[in-house]
Amino acid sequence: MGACWTNSSLNPCFKDCGGERGMHDGHCFCDLKPFIAQRRKVLSLPSAGDVVDIYQREFLALRDRLHAAEQESLKRSKELNLVLEEIKRAISEKQALRDINRTWSSLSDETKLKLWNITNKNVLHLPTIFHHLPHLLSKENSLQPAVHVGQGRTGVSVVMGIPSVKREVHSYLTDTLNSLISELTQQEKEDSVIVVLIAETDPQYTAGVAENIKNLFPKEIHSGLLEVISPSPHFYPDFSHLRESFGDPKERVRWRTKQNLDYCFLMMYAQSKGIYYVQLEDDIVAKPNYLSTMKNFALQQPSEEWMILEFSQLGFIGKMFKSLDLSLIVEFILMFYKDKPIDWLLDHILWVKVCNPEKDAKHCDRQKANLRIRFKPSLFQHVGTHSSLAGKIQKLKDKDFGKQALRKEHVNPPAEVSTSLKTYQHFTLEKAYLREDFFWAFTPTAGDFIRFRFFKPLRIERFFFRSGNIEHPEDKLFNTTVEVLPFDSLQSDKEALQEGRGSVVKYRRTPDGYIQIGSFSKGVAEGEVDPSFGPLEAIRLSIQTDSPVWIILSEIFIKKAE
């Protein structure tokens, strides 16, 4: 409530307050509610100036939005122009590349190589595959597989490479794959890769073979065990101008030259997949336990100097290499792929590495024997009779494949071998233990020994030793005992030396702690090892009397307890 004051006592409420008038205690008052409501109505209606201001602000905001949209449109327009320029440039470059390729293809291989070296930014120009195969520069994808089936598995222990070509009469490829795969355990299947190279350039043929393998071995393809590749049609050079050599006709020279390139392509593809690479062929069968036998044989080599481990005596079958050596081998083969067949080139690599030109051939052979080591008996047999060389019939058989030395393929447990006998030439005890060769020594005398000391104590189930061989059947061990050295001598004394409750001695102990458990009879010693001996440190063959002849130890079989 508000009040209106006046000095007139006659008419104190003469002034219109815009409300109801009245007097109270000599004061004039009026009710302002109607007045306030009316003023509110007046204030709620904007004036003309206010309307102009509102429209101006909205117009400015609209102008700003239009300006921003225009800027965004210009930005998008520039981006579209850039994209169009890139498309035009790509089309132009593609057309230019076609023109260059047409010009490039008309150049000689020597000119291409010179241009490639000139445009290379490096000061030093290292040799590459293009120096040996300059035609590869003509096509961008000449080193990419035309067919590539599989999971690309890497990080395995063993990679097996199988080159396969079209044969006029019969293909052995699927039989070979069945043999290799069927002899693998599940663990071995997870730690290996089989790579089939279809070494043909006919796309219809390679696609057909790949599809057939996929249909026959879907599980192996899906798991990563089996892969199928074929080279680009542009990988191979022109074979029409090869020089005939070594009395071979032109067709055979072409065949062996292409074969060298097939091996190189396969090795280049496989070298990053595993620790070891094994070269096989597409017309073989494998023995049981072949993969573990190869792997264990490689791991038990006393030195890393070896370059080739041979598990077959035929051709290029069953040859194991360290993957780290494949680059060197491929480079060497590429340098001379037109000149000699693969087996000769491999032998030349060994000659270059270890042979002294001032020494004789026998010295060279001994040196190469340290790099090229043979495993017996063979793990693979050649079964094909129709060669990949058209019209050629071959009945090659590995004579060592059927030999059942030590009853089945076996690798002795890791051990340090030693002997007091004088070794004859290169027929060492180490090679005999690793089953590479037999041990041959000069005439033994009483007290001589042959010892196998295990790297860690092992429980041994049984043993088998054979002396003499077919060529020298009389070079046998006579009056020789088989002795073991238990790791826990006290326990073996308590459990094994006494028979029952009596005092009968079951085994005889030597002064230096060995226990005699067997002896040679007719050149052979075999038997089981008493499990009560526990883990053994060593096994020893002790010669008790002088011998009138040299000795050969042809078989060594020491089976570790399961």
Mean pLDDT rounded to a whole number for the chain: 82
At residue 330, φ and ψ (nearest 5 deg) are: -60, -45
pLDDT at 232: 92
Instruction: Give the per-residue pLDDT at 377.
Output: 84
pLDDT at 422 over 90: yes
For residue 140, give the 3-state DSSP assignment.
coil
CB burial of residue 122 (10 Å; 0-12, 13-18, 19+): exposed
423 and 488 belong to one structural domain: yes
Verify that 163 and 21 share a domain, yes or no.
Answer: no
**CA dist., res. 299 & res. 157, Å (int):** 11
User: Do 137 and 108 form a contact (C-beta atoms < 8 A)?
Assistant: no
Residue type, 252: R
Residue type, 33: K
For residues 425-439, give the mean pLDDT. 91
pLDDT at 386: 46
Residues 373 and 420 in one domain: no
pLDDT for position 170: 76
What are 402's strand-pairing partners?
Answer: none
Q: What is the pLDDT of residue 488?
A: 80
Residues 190 and 218 in one domain: yes
In a domain, 434, yes or no: yes
Q: Is residue 389 part of a domain?
A: no
Task: Please check the confidence at residue 405 and state whether its pLDDT lies above 50.
Answer: no
Q: Write down the pLDDT at residue 517.
A: 95
- Residue 480 pLDDT class (50, 70, 90 cuts): very high
Amino acid code (one letter) for 220: E
Mean pLDDT of 142-153: 92
Let me know whether 328 and 243 are in one domain.
yes
511 and 371 together in one domain: no
pLDDT number for residue 3: 44
Q: What is the pLDDT of residue 483?
A: 97
Question: Domain holding 339: CATH number?
Answer: 3.90.550.10
Contact of 373 with 292, CB cutoff 8 Å: no
Last residue of a domain, one of 382, 401, 436: 382
Q: Is the pLDDT of residue 538 over 70?
A: yes
68: pLDDT confidence band, cut at 50, 70 and 90? Answer: confident
pLDDT higher than 90, residue 38: no
What pLDDT score does 72 carry? 80
pLDDT of residue 229: 96
Instruction: Output DSSP code: residue 443.
Output: P
Owning domain of residue 483? 415-560
Tens of pLDDT along 169-193?
A: 678 899 899 999 999 999 999 999 9
DSSP letter (8 states) at residue 521: B
pLDDT of residue 435: 84
The pLDDT of residue 100 is 61
Domain count, the chain: 4
pLDDT in tens, 208-259: 999 999 999 999 999 999 999 999 989 998 888 888 777 778 888 888 899 9
- Among left, alpha and beta (phi > 0; psi -120 to 50; other), residue 421 is beta
Mean pLDDT value of segment 530-537: 93
278 and 242 in one domain?
yes
Instruction: Classify residue 69: in a domain, yes or no.
Output: no
* Residue 61 within a domain: no
* Other C-beta atoms lying within 10 Å of the C-beta of residue 513: 13
**In this predicted structure, which of 3-12, 26-35, 292-301, 327-336 has the lowest mean pLDDT?**
3-12
Phi and psi torsions of 279, nearest 5°:
-90, 125
- Looking at the structure, do residues 519 and 451 belong to the same domain, yes or no? yes
Residues 6+ away with beta carbon under 8 Å from 271: 277, 323, 326, 327, 330
Of the candidate ranges 66-75, 274-283, 422-431, the one whose mean pLDDT is the lowest: 66-75
Has residue 391 got a pLDDT over 90? no
Given a contact cutoff of 8 angstroms between Cβ atoms, the answer to whether 543 and 446 are in contact is: yes
For the CA atoms of the chain, what is the radius of gyration? 45
State the pLDDT at residue 8.
44
Q: Which residue has the tokens 């023109």?
A: 99
Does residue 506 sit in the same domain as residue 470?
A: yes
User: In this structure, is residue 102 part of a structural domain?
Assistant: no
The per-residue pLDDT for range 4-23, each reduced to its tens digit, is 444 444 444 444 444 445 55
130 versus 504: which is more confidently predicted? Answer: 130
Are 294 and 187 found together in one domain? yes
Half-sphere exposure of 264 (CA within 13 A, CB side): 26
- Tell me whether residue 94 is in a domain: no
- Summarised one tens digit per residue, pLDDT across range 482-511 is 999 999 866 556 555 555 544 456 789 999
- pTM (2 d.p.): 0.56
CA separation for the pair 156, 192 (Å, rounded)? 5
Q: pLDDT higher for 79 or 230?
A: 230
Regarding whether 312 and 219 lie in a shared domain, the answer is yes
For residues 553 and 464, give the distance between their C-alpha atoms in angstroms, rounded to a whole number: 11
Cβ(297)–Cβ(186) under 8 Å?
no
Q: Is the pLDDT at 130 greater than 80, yes or no?
A: yes
Q: How many contiguous H segments (helices) and E segments (strands) does the chain have?
A: 15, 23
What is the arithmetic mean of pLDDT over 79-107?
71
- Give yes or no for a contact between 526 and 463, defined as CB atoms under 8 angstroms apart: yes
Within this chain, do residues 32 and 118 fall inside the same structural domain, yes or no?
no
The CA-atom distances, in angstroms, between 204 and each of 162, 209, 211, 213, 535 are 20, 9, 11, 14, 61
Distance of alpha carbon 228 from alpha carbon 150, whole angstroms:
7
In this prediction, residue 557 carries a pLDDT of: 94
Tokens, residue 299:
């791991």
Q: Is 230 helix (H, G, I), strand (E, B) or coil?
A: strand
Q: List the one residue out of 149, 127, 307 whose CA is nearest residue 222.
A: 149
Query: Cα dihedral sign for 243, 248, 251, 254?
Result: negative
